[in-house]
Structures are given as structure tokens and as C-alpha cells.
Amino acid sequence: MKILSIFIITMILGFNINAQTSYEKRMEEAFNLWEEDKTIEASSLFERIAKAEKDNWLPPFYAAYTLVISSFEVKDEATLKLKIEKATELLNQASSSSPNNPEIMIVKALANTAYINFDGQKYGMTFSGKNEYIYQTALKIAPNNPRVILSKAEWDMGSAQFFGSSIEPYCKDIKRALGFFQNEEKSEVKFYPDWGEKKAQKILDDCEG
Amino acid sequence: MRVLLVLSLLLFGTQIIAQHQISGAIKGQRGLPITGANVYIVGSYDGATTNLEGKFSFSTSETGIKTLYVSFLSFEDYSLTADLSEFKNLEIKLKEDVNMLDAVMLSTGTFEAGENSRVTALKPLDVVTTASALGDFLGALQTLPGTSTVGEDGRLFIRGGGADETQIFIDGMRVFAPYTPTANNIPTRGRFSPFLFKGISFSTGGYSAEYGQALSGVLKLNTIDEPDQEKTEVSLMTVGLGVGNTQKWDKSSLSINANYTNLAPYTEALPNRNEWISPLQSMSGEMIYRYKTNNSDILKLYGGYSYTDLDLIQQNINFEEGFRFANENRNLYINGSYKSFLGNSWILNTGFSLSNDNNKSQVGEDLIDNNDNSAHLKIKLRKRINNNFEFNFGSEYFITDFDESIESNLIGDFDYGFQSNISAGFGEVDIFFSKKLAMNLGGRVDHYELWNQTLFSPRASIAYKSGEFSQFSFAYGKFFQNPSADFLKFNDTITAENASHFIANFQYVKSKKIFRVEAYHKTYDDLVKFDTEFPTFTSSYNSTGSGYASGVDLFWRDNESFKNLEYWASYSYLDTERDYRNFLEKARPAFASEHNLSLVAKYWIEDWKSQLGFSHVFASGRNYTDPNSNGFLNRETKNFNSLSLNWAYLIDKQKILYFSVSNVLGTRNIFGYNYANEMDMSGVFQREAILPNTDQFFFVGFFWTLSDDKKSNQLNNL
């Protein structure tokens, strides 16, 4: 009988754990796909999770983030617009469950950058102003968020290069971001965005190299 | 122990039974497999992405009746509700979403500018960095096919139509006095600064039933919904100065601009053909308030006021001491619009515009004072039934109250004017039969209170996508317009003029290259005729004039073949004749040239942080009447040529220096001839050429933006 009760308890616990982690399991599955460079599959899976998890900003955030990243390689305007419009919809879902979230804001800015990257003459004028505004607002909300500092510095470097001025001050920003990355505490929220440290290090190496 | 076994079997057993295997394949309409489609059970985490063969397969622990959902970019979403056990080896065909970007477009006759349009003939920056445009968006539009270069006028002349046959709308509401006042032979400019607008749609024929009271063309300008950031802008130019400030709040924003223009230094420094008593000066101020509600409804209010005066003596063969012209203009324009998403795919657009335009002019010895009060009210509802069908309908009301008085030693003092109210209703349906074939059918009814007359104008267009990058389209429409105030003020028995358009269009768009050819035939009827040299009270008027215009417009734009270079070319062939105004017979009007050609190129030099611009405008000769020989409009001037250059230099992120020179080669262009009223002693009518005020125009400007981010600039302000 003892064995049986242990067994049953284990089963129940097991089910419970299963129930608790089916979100986590799926999210991990999506991250694995992403790591394997299956960005479309990862994005689809994040989107499916977003459909089921209405009040959680993370699944739509990652669904949008993966879409935006994949849109940088798009060669035709129609597809680009479709991807960004879908990403924007997902980001709106994310920000309705987590308003004024700087992590979401910087992905919005990244979506605008995808347009500028595609055709600067056509989109530069409108979207660069929007991005300035987004980065400033994000920085006001989270002055010590390393991803905000990193994204803003990258953006600033892009426009500094365009105008032929020094990128030196922005290298300092990257250094500052790295400091924050190293001291960043792991968030209690599972899957909370923690990207950026490697990228910051790489940009800093380029700065110094 | 046996109990345990049974129990565990039971437990595992249910789990095994609960696992449904879902599988199937997704295809497009032509049977091609769709890769990367997202397939899932609604309300669960279970789903899959289709593979290269369009196949999917996944297992789910859900049970009972569930909904399977399929979504993929550019296709309509698909859903199927049934018992899970039936979701096996499914064959699903997705329908292409016709509202997506690569679907056919109903765009006959129209050019779009701005980042929201699918095929952009002009980019936002082009509007202001085209060399020949001199910072005026009307100048940039004149490099598109279908327009005629009328160098001494500056307004838009479309496909054989006069300038007042084109109407301008801001946010759907009519602009009653869009051009700045000027004197003869000095081209006018648009009153509105181009940076107010996020999108420009320029239609040279066959436009929607929503737009009436225009025989030849409509220009639709859409103001920006939300400025990007707070900023202060300062501009110093050889012709004046300007300041602007934008404030932004959570849901609303306010922009204020003020400009002062004075041509005195310019006319002092450079030779010109007129004797200026008081060179042109103008002061203007404008204010725009925008408010966005939580559900994206937008309210916009625009108010602008300007004052302009000028006084000059122009050479004239019939006046030994020259001909005096002075004008003092006051213009107030208010425009309000409201767009609301009513839910259930209904969209409401409503608005008003009010205008007061006052001119006090001295023409020779006569003093003329006129006052035009006009208003436009409109309401429109749009509903989307599904991806294949949408419709809109609405109604509008135009009010014009025009008064003029003349004090003349020659003919005496008179007061006259007219009041004309027009009510109209319009409706349209858009039908997308497939991604390849679409049709628009519509009509409008205008009621003219002046004559108690009701007129119906049908409109239709159809478009067929013939290949991945190409499409054909056709449009037909009938268009009515109230006669010009120039005639109505003297005689209000003449009736509305009309035109019919037949247009065929072919368009090829591949990434950043656009090729477009459009052929058209237009007929004009009920044009106003009069029997004197100028329209006066004593003239007799009737509505028996007629005419036609046929032609071909070509456009080619390429933004990708050469690095850092963008260029476009426009050519228009126009065959037109009219018997209208005081014409003795059918003839090509003096403003129309048979051939018009524009070449525009822009080159970005990274190392110099500069954009160099080049544009060349060519127009073949224009008709004039030589009284020394028989006939009417029997001679043609020489061709018009003008090469313009500009240079925009980004000093740093916030400071721009801008140079522009028109007609670099100093070509002496002649617009026509004025003949003496009397023969000279040898029995010949002497003549003088109608020439521009100056052959060349120079413009130097310095633009400085102050904003928090220290990065935006006024590139868009040039």
C-alpha cells in the first residue's frame, strides 16, 4: 500500500509538474528551434503559445522578436510589410498585458529599423524620428536596462556613421551596457529577455579593434 | 501489486488514448504546397509548422470538439471545428488574401507619394529635393507625366485641362485657394509646406466618385497623424525666414509655424524684367492640433492665415509707361476632419473646410476688390464586408459666396457677384474577384441650386494582374464642374461644364523599378464661351463650348541599378483642341504643349555628406495668334528648356545648407507674344515676347533643428 500511495503521489505530482511546465516546455522547445536557426518554426510556436497564453507578454514578445529578426533578410517589400505588420500586432498584444515595457519598446524600434534598412530614402524620414522617440522614452523608464542602452547605442552608431561623425561616445555607452549586463540579476520571471551581452561584447571589440 | 499494475495501466492507458495524432497538408489555390504555415488547436499549445511539402503532423492530449486553425502570411486564415478524431490526413486549401500587397490595384490615373503607398512614384524626400521644384511640392508633381510645363504660371495643368480644372483636397476636404497670389509671368507656389503631409495622391484622370467639381485632376494631401517628437525648427533663406515648434502630449500634439518672405533683397541684387514698386512680401502663420482617442479615432484641426502684398510695373507693348499691377491678399483657411472606427468594419470620415480669400488689386488704373467665402462639408461611411467586397457612400455640400467691386474711370463703378451652393451624394463598391481581378463601380449626383439642376456622373474602373510584376487597368468616368468664378460673377445662367475620361494603363513594378504607360481620350462639353477679349458684364455667355484631349504618358523610375543614384523620366504626348472661352474656332489652347519631357536624377555622395540633384524639363512650343497673318492660334513658340541643379549639404545632424539654381544654362524661354493693338506705320502689328520675371532663380537656405535628441533635421523641409 505504501508503494501504491507513493506511486499515486508521484503520478499526481508528476501530472502537476507536467501541467505547470507545459507552457515552459513549449517555450523551451521554441528556444531550441530558434537556436537551431529554425526561426520560422520558432516564431510559429511562440505565436501558438501567445494564442493560448492571452495574459502573458512573453510569448507574443518572442513571436514578434523572431519575426522582426527574420525580416532583416527579406528582399521584397510586400513580404517585409506583411512580417512587420504581423510583428506589430503581436507587440501590441504584448504591450496590452505589459504596458510601458522597455523590452517591448526596443523591439518596436527594431521593426522600424527593418524598414529603414530596406529602403532608407523611402522610410528613413518617418521612422528615424519615431525611433528617437521610442529610445528616449525607453531610456527614461529604464535608464539602467543594458538592452535599452545597447539598442540605443547601436542606433546612434548607425546614424553617426551615416553622418560621418565619431562613434566614440556610443562605444562608451556599450561599455556601460556591458557593466550592467555583468551585474544584471537573473529575473524571477522565467524566459525574461536576457539577450545582448555577447552582442555588446562584439561591438565593443569592434570599437577597440 | 496487481492492483498497482492495473492502476498504472489504467493511468497510462487513458494517457495513450487521449493522444490524438493530427495530420494533413496545406496547399494554395493552385495546388502548390505552403511551407511555414502555422497549424494549431485553438486554446492549446499543440500545433506544428508545415514542412517543405506543406505537410504537418502533431499529437495533442486535447479531446472532444475543437477548432483547428491555420494561418500564413498573405493568405486568409482558415479554421475547422470538428471532433479531434477527424483531424487526420486533412487536405486544406488556403485562399489568397486579396488585400495583401501583391494583389491587383485599382490605380488607373493615379500617382502616389509617401511611405504608405504600395507603388511610390515620388518619395517624401523627392517632393522637396527635386532640383526644378525649388522646394515647392507642386513643382515636384510637375515632373510626373500628364502635366504640362507652363513656366509663367506654376499651377497644375493636367492633360490639356486648364489650371482651375484640378482641385486640391487636404484630408478629404477641399482647399479653395491653394496657390499663393502672384503677378503675370511670375510662377505661383503652393500655399502649404510639404512637410505637413505624410501622403500625396495625384490623379490625372478617372478618379473616385468621392471627388467631384474637377474636370481634369485631383490632388489629395493627407496630413500626418502624429508628429515624431517635440522640436523647434529655424530656417534662414535668401527669400525670408521661418520658425516652427511642435509640442507633443500623450494623446495630442500641437504644431505652430510662422513664415516671413520678402523678395526685396532678391530683386535688388539680381536683374529682373519688372520694375518693382513694392517687392512681394508675405507673412503667414499656421497651427495644427491633432488628437487621437484610445480606439485610434483621429481628430485634426488646421488653421492658417496669410497676408501677401506686391506692387509692380510690367512692360507692355500697349502701355508706354508699362502696366501697373498691385495686389493685397488675405487668406484664412480652416480645415477640420474626424475619422472614427465605429466597429464591425465601419469607418466614418467627416469634416469641414472654411475659406475666406480677399484680394484688393490695382489692375492698370482700375481698382478691383473681391471677397470669396467658401465652405465644404462632408460625411462618408466605409464598410468592409469581407476581403472581396467593400463599399462606401457619403454626401457633401459646397457653399461659395463671391462678391466683387470695381472702380474704374473707363467703365464706372460696379458691384457684382454670385452665390452658388452645390449638394452631392456619392457611392462606390470595390469588388475583388480574386487577387488578379478587381473592379470599382460608383457614381455621384450633384445638385446645383443656382439652376436647380441635378447631374449624374458614373465612374468605373477595372484592373487585371497579368503577371507577377505587371497589370493592366482601365477606367471610365464622367466629371462635372461649376464654371469658373471668372464667368459666374458676370453671368449665372451658364451651366456646369463636363468631361468624360477613357483611360487604359499598363504598369510594371519590380522591386525599386517602375514602368508605367497610360493612354487616354477625353471629351469636353458644355464649356463656357464668351464673345469679348476678356470676360466682362457686357459679354454674352453660353455653354456651347467643346473639345477633346488624347495622349500617352510614360513614366520610368529606377532606384536600384546604380548605387546612390535615383532617377526618373516622364514623357507626355498630348493632342488637344478646344473651342471655348473666346476662341474663334477649335484650336490647341496656348497653355498646352504637344510634348513634355522631364528627367530627374539625384546622387548621394557619402564622403561629402551631400545630395546632388539634377533635373531637366523640356516642353515643345506653345500656340499664339499672330495678327499679321491669317488664322487663330496659328503660330508656335520655340521649345522650352530648363536645366536645374541643387545641392543639399548636411553640415551636421541638425544643420543643413541648401543651394538650388534653376535654368543653369540661362536659356531664354519664351511663353508667347503680346501684340500691339494697333498697326504701326508700315502696317505691321509689333510684338513683344512674354518672358519670365528672371531667367534664373537662385535659392540658398540654412535649416536648423533643435530637438532633445539632437539628431532630426529639416531635410524634409527643403
Report pLDDT digits (tens) over B116-165. 566 777 776 676 678 887 777 788 899 999 998 888 888 999 999 999 99
Range of weakest confidence among A44-48, A74-78, B24-28: A74-78
Residue B14 has what pLDDT? 46
Q: Give the integer Cα–Cα distance in Å for A88 and A109.
A: 10
- Give the mean pLDDT of B66-81: 88
- Average pLDDT over every residue of A45-67: 92
Chain A within 8 Å of B8 (Cβ-Cβ)? yes
**pLDDT at residue B287, as a whole number:** 94
Orientation angle between helical segments A197-208 and A168-183, nearest 10 degrees: 150
A108 in contact with B at a CB cutoff of 8 Å?
Answer: no
Q: What is the pLDDT of residues B394-403, one digit of tens each?
A: 999 999 999 9
Residue B2 pLDDT more than 70?
A: no
Does B146 lie in the same domain as B50?
A: no
CB atoms within 10 A of CB B713: 24
Model confidence over B139-149: pLDDT tens digits?
A: 889 999 999 88
Give the residue among B259, B211, B253, B203 at the shortest CA–CA distance from B229: B253
Correct CATH for A31-142 of 3.40.50, 1.10.3470, 1.10.260, 1.25.40: 1.25.40
Question: Is B189 in the same domain as B74?
Answer: no
Distance CA B386, CA A91 (A): 25
- Nearest CA-CA distance, residue B43 and chain A, Å: 5
Whole-model pTM: value is 0.82
pLDDT at res. B518: 95
B6 confidence band (pLDDT: 50, 70, 90): low
- Cβ-in-10-Å burial (0-12, 13-18, 19+) of B290 comes to buried
Has residue B710 been placed in a domain? no
Give pLDDT, residue B136: 79
Answer yes or no: are the C-beta atoms of A67 and A86 closer than 8 Å. Answer: yes
Q: What is the DSSP letter of B75?
A: B
The C-alpha R_g of chain A, in whole angstroms, comes to: 20
Residue B134 lies in a domain: yes
The maximal CA–CA distance of chain B, rounded, in angstroms, is 137
N residues, chain A? 209
What are residue B124's phi and psi, to 5 degrees? -50, -40
Residues B81, B149, single domain; the answer is no
Q: Which of B93, B118, B146 is the last residue of a domain?
A: B93
Looking at residue B125, what is its pLDDT? 67
Q: Name the strand (E) or helix (H) holding B22.
A: strand B20-27
Residue type, B637: T
> What would the pLDDT profile of B309-333 be if each residue is shown by its tens digit?
999 999 899 998 899 999 999 999 9
- Report, as an integer, the average pLDDT of B569-592: 95
| Chain A residue with minimum CA distance to B51 | A41
Q: What is the mean pLDDT of residues B675-682?
A: 91
Band (pLDDT 50/70/90 cuts) for residue B438 is very high
CA–CA distance, B451 with B492 (Å, rounded to integer): 8
State which residue of chain B sits closest to A158, comparing Cα positions: B711
Q: What is the pLDDT of residue A186?
A: 81
- Inter-chain residue contact A82 with B73, CB threshold 8 Å: yes
**What are residue A106's phi and psi, to 5 degrees?**
-70, -25
pLDDT tens for A117-165 read: 888 777 877 788 888 889 988 999 999 999 999 999 999 888 787 777 7
Q: Backbone phi, then psi, for A109, in 5-degree steps?
A: -65, -35
In a domain, B354, yes or no: yes
Count the domains in chain B.
2
The answer, for B273 touching chain A at a CB cutoff of 8 Å, is no
Residue A81 touches partner B, C-beta closer than 8 Å = yes
Same domain as B39, residue B165: no
Nearest C-alpha in B relative to A161 = B606
Strand partners, B223: B197
User: Does the beta-carbon distance from A48 to B652 stay under 8 Å?
Assistant: no
Question: Is B117 in the A-facing interface, judged by CB distances under 8 Å?
Answer: no
* In a shared domain, residues B393 and B496: yes
Mean local confidence (pLDDT), B272-295: 91
Q: What pLDDT score was predicted for residue B7?
A: 54
Distance (Å) of CA B174 to CA B157, B177, B257, B306, B346: 18, 9, 22, 18, 24
Confidence (pLDDT) at B117: 63
Task: Identify whether B709 is part of a domain.
Answer: no
pLDDT tens string B227-270: 877 888 888 888 889 899 999 888 899 999 999 989 888 888 88
Nearest-Å Rg of the Cα atoms of chain B is 30
**Mutation target among A12, A45, A67, A121 for the B interface, most CBs of B within 10 A:** A121
Model confidence over B98-110: pLDDT tens digits? Answer: 665 567 777 777 7
Quote the minimal CA–CA distance from B718 to chain A in Å: 13
Task: Domain ranges for chain A, please list them.
Answer: 31-142, 143-209
pLDDT at A75 over 80: yes
Predicted local confidence at residue B9, as pLDDT: 47
Residue B16 has pLDDT above 60, yes or no: no
Task: Report d(CA B573, CA B147) in Å as an integer.
Answer: 10
Cα-Cα-Cα-Cα torsion B483, B489, B492, B498, nearest 10 degrees, comes to 0
Q: Which residues contact B629 (CB under 8 A, 6 or more apart)?
A: B635
Say whether both B602 and B685 belong to one domain. yes
**Confidence check on the interface: ipTM exceeds 0.85, yes or no:** no
Q: What is the pLDDT of residues B605-623, one digit of tens each?
A: 878 888 899 999 999 999 9
Would residue B716 count as lying in a domain? no
Per-residue model confidence (pLDDT) at position B684:
92
Gap from B42 CA to chain A (nearest CA, Å):
7
* CB-based burial label for A6 (10 Å; 0-12, 13-18, 19+): exposed
φ, ψ of residue B552 in degrees (nearest 5): -135, 135
Q: For position B513, which CATH number holds?
A: 2.40.170.20
* Residue A47 to residue B147: CA distance in whole angstroms: 49
pLDDT given at position B708: 61
- pLDDT bracket for residue B512 (50, 70, 90): confident
| Domain match, B358 and B384 both | yes
Name the region of B391 (left: φ>0; alpha: ψ -120 to 50; beta: rest): beta
Beta-carbon contacts of B449 under 8 Å, excluding residues fewer than 6 positions away, are: B420, B421, B422, B423
Question: Which residue, of B30, B59, B93, is where some domain finishes?
Answer: B93
Interchain pair B708, A136: CB under 8 A: yes
The pLDDT of residue A52: 85
B581 near B530, Cβ under 8 Å? Answer: yes
> In this structure, what are the phi and psi dihedrals at residue B34, rounded to the nearest 5 degrees?
-105, 120
Given an 8 Å threshold on Cβ–Cβ distance, is B49 in contact with A40? Answer: yes
The DSSP secondary structure of B521-575, one letter per residue, reads EEEEEEEEEESSSS--SSS-EEEEEEEEEEEEEEEEEESSSSTTEEEEEEEEEEE
CA distance A97 to A89: 13
Query: Residue B193: its pLDDT value, please?
Result: 79
Q: Which three cell numbers stand for residue A16?
A: 502537476
- Residues B569 and B495 placed together within one structural domain of the fold: yes
Residue B518 in contact with partner chain A when CB distance is under 8 A: no
CA nearest neighbour of B297 among B256, B262, B252:
B252
Question: Cβ B120–A122 below 8 Å, yes or no?
Answer: yes
Whether A9 shows a pLDDT value over 60: the answer reads no
Q: Give pLDDT, residue B5.
A: 53
Please report residues of A whose CB lies closer than 8 A to that of B712.
128-129, 132
Query: What pLDDT was estimated at residue B192?
Result: 84
Q: What domain range is B59 assigned to? A: 2-93
Domain membership flag for residue B636? yes
d(CA B134, CA B154): 11
Is B10 within the bounds of a domain? yes
Q: Report which of residues B511 and B21 the model is more confident about.
A: B21
Q: Specify whether B65 is located in the same domain as B172.
A: no
For the stretch B520-550, pLDDT in tens is: 999 999 999 999 988 988 899 999 999 999 9
Q: Report whether pLDDT(B271) > 90.
A: no
Do residues B238 and B300 both lie within one domain?
yes
Indicate the helix (H) or strand (E) that contains A179: helix A168-183
Q: In whole angstroms, give the CA distance from residue A146 to residue B278.
A: 62
Decide: helix, strand or coil at residue B185.
Answer: coil
Interface probe with B: pick from A43, A58, A84, A163, most Cβ of B within 10 Å: A163
- CA-to-CA distance for A34 and A12, rounded, in angstroms? 32
Using the Cβ of B73 and the Cβ atoms of chain A, whether some distance falls under 8 Å is answered with: yes
A-interface mutation test, from B45, B61, B718, most A Cβ less than 10 A away: B45
Chain A residues within an 8 Å CB radius of B247? none
Whole-number percent of chain A with pLDDT over 70: 89
